[in-house]
Amino acid sequence: MSHDLHDLQWSSFGVDAAAVRFVSAMDGAEVADDAEGDEAEVAEGAWDDAPVVAVARLSPDDLVATERLHARLAEALGLPSYYGANWDALLDVLTDDAVLGDRRAFVLILDRGEEAFARAPHAVGDLIAIVLDADRRWRSHGRADMVQLLIVWRRADRRCIALEGTDATG
């Protein structure tokens, strides 16, 4: 079963918002070295210039076991001790200025996107939906790109939406 972008029902997630991007890369740290073309340079520049953000890097294994996912998110994002480790709790903390603190944004990176979609399609769908909800709420207060989900796609694909045009510097 292939998991190209066009196989997925994006419309059901409403993934037209800028909050979810598909990064064409083998491994985040190797973006600049491995990938070719403008996308890679944009990606590299974006990371270099990025202000301090709260980053959580997730693997397909994390998406399969949601207790593990929430524990990982709590640790990586420095979530408060009351964090309820459920989807409703995640949306709550991702839209809380006090949880964000002096960091500029929450950035979630989902590695090996194809594998995550194949093994845990519902969890990935929930995660995308929550990020989009959170993004919408911040935007309603006039603040864009406060929650971002980067899904790292192993295969270079013209349909992949790269970091091009993001305003990580802004």
Partner 1 sequence: MSKRFRLVVLVVLLIGVWAATRKSNVSEGAPPRETPTSSAPREDAAGQEGADGQPGSAKPSTVDKDYPGLAQVPAGEEREAVLATLLRIERGGPFPYPNNDGVVFENRERRLPPKPRGFYREYTVPTPGSRDRGARRVVTGGQARYYSRNHYKSFETLTP
Smallest distance, Å, CB 166 to partner 1?
24
Smallest distance, Å, CB 32 to partner 1?
37
Smallest distance, Å, CB 81 to partner 1?
9
Q: 87 CB contacts (<8 Å, ≥6 apart)?
A: 126, 130
CA distance 38 to 42: 6
Residue choice 108, 130, 161, 162 for contact with partner 1 (CB under 8 A): 130
Residue choice 6, 122, 141, 158 for contact with partner 1 (CB under 8 A): 141
Place of tokens 């709420």: 137
CA distance 123 to 142: 29
Report if residue 102 touches partner 1, rule: CB under 8 A: no
Residue choice 41, 44, 92, 115 for contact with partner 1 (CB under 8 A): 92
Dihedral sign of CA atoms 145, 113, 30, 23 in order? negative
Smallest distance, Å, CB 157 to partner 1?
30
Segment lying near partner 1 (by CB under 8 A), choices 46-54, 55-63, 97-105, 109-117? 97-105
Smallest distance, Å, CB 127 to partner 1?
11
Residue choice 30, 75, 97, 164 for contact with partner 1 (CB under 8 A): 97
- Compute how many residues bind partner 1; rule: CB under 8 A: 22
By beta-carbon proximity to partner 1, the closer residue of 12 and 169 is 12
Report if residue 129 touches partner 1, rule: CB under 8 A: yes
Residue choice 18, 53, 91, 156 for contact with partner 1 (CB under 8 A): 91
